[in-house]
Amino acid sequence: MIVHFDKFETWEASFSDLVVRLLGEEVTQNLASSKFEYIDDAGDFLVRHSDIESVSTEIHSWILAHEFCSFHGTRLLPEEIFSVQNTGLHPLVASDREQRLRRILAHHPRWNSIQHMLLEVLDDVGPKEKQGRRQGQVHSSLSRSGLVNGFDHYLTHGSEFDQHVVRRLFDDQSGLELLSSQTVPVLVHVHFSGEQLIQGAHPFFGYLDVVGMGEIPGIARTFLDAWAFKIANPKFDLEKLRTDCCLMERFATQPERILEIEKLGDINAQ
């Protein structure tokens, strides 16, 4: 079974086995009888009854033993949907965005007067990394709800890179509106192995490096906190967490890793 973070039933049983093995039945029962108001407090309760290295090591092994679904949110032109289906997701290359942006922004009434600035802005936002720092990267989110109901600007206006570019070119929201007008919001469901998930969640400091710093790695804490809070509050819906757990890769997502391309309704009207 592929783990969907928001769908607790896809990972509850195996993660419960992990916690009981690590901390014992009594601690788990005490957690279940507690009522934590904040998710971090529930995770802290478990950590206090164990130690950072043990918790991190056990969760590391659990992640490696499972497969996961992550979500890349954006807005695409019709032909781009076909391209993703056939060639996958590719790391951002600023120069590759030129023709797309020219096609979209040509409809702007002020385009003729500012189009000469496009290449300079692409270079600034891309290779020079003056904004956003997305060059050479592919991003996705562990939580579908986090994308759709939380940080949904990818779905309302598309690529964060494109948004930075049009904000530089125009001094109002008109460029952003054009980014939406010719595209449709999509969620690309992407398969991650456990190893890919660990690497994607910790692209700068590796999982074991973080453990060596005396901390529980972020991806481990994401699952630990959510599980603990759900056990303490059984009626709580994990989708309401709207978890912002970003995964970043510096290589193409091959088409065989794409599980689904989900077209959404008009998210701008929601």
**What's the pLDDT at 131?**
82
**What's the pLDDT at 269?**
40
**Residues 184-243: pLDDT tens digits?**
999 999 999 999 999 999 999 999 999 999 999 999 999 999 999 999 999 999 998 888
* CB contact at 8 A, 184 and 55: no
**Residues 227-264: pLDDT tens digits?**
999 999 999 999 988 888 899 999 999 999 999 999 98
Can you tell me whether residue 247 is helix, strand or coil?
A: strand
Distance CA 225, CA 237 (A): 14
Instruction: Inform me whether the pLDDT recorded for 151 exceeds 60.
Output: yes
Tokens linked to 135: 């060059």
Q: Which long-range contacts (CB under 8 A, 24 or more apart) does 109-118 make?
A: 110/170, 110/174, 114/169, 114/170, 117/168, 117/169, 118/165, 118/169
Question: Mean pLDDT score of the chain, rounded to an integer?
Answer: 92
Q: What is the pTM of this model?
A: 0.92
**Residues 33-83: pLDDT tens digits?**
988 888 999 999 999 998 899 999 999 999 999 999 999 999 999 899 999
**Residues 90-143: pLDDT tens digits?**
999 999 999 999 999 999 999 999 999 999 999 999 998 888 888 999 999 999
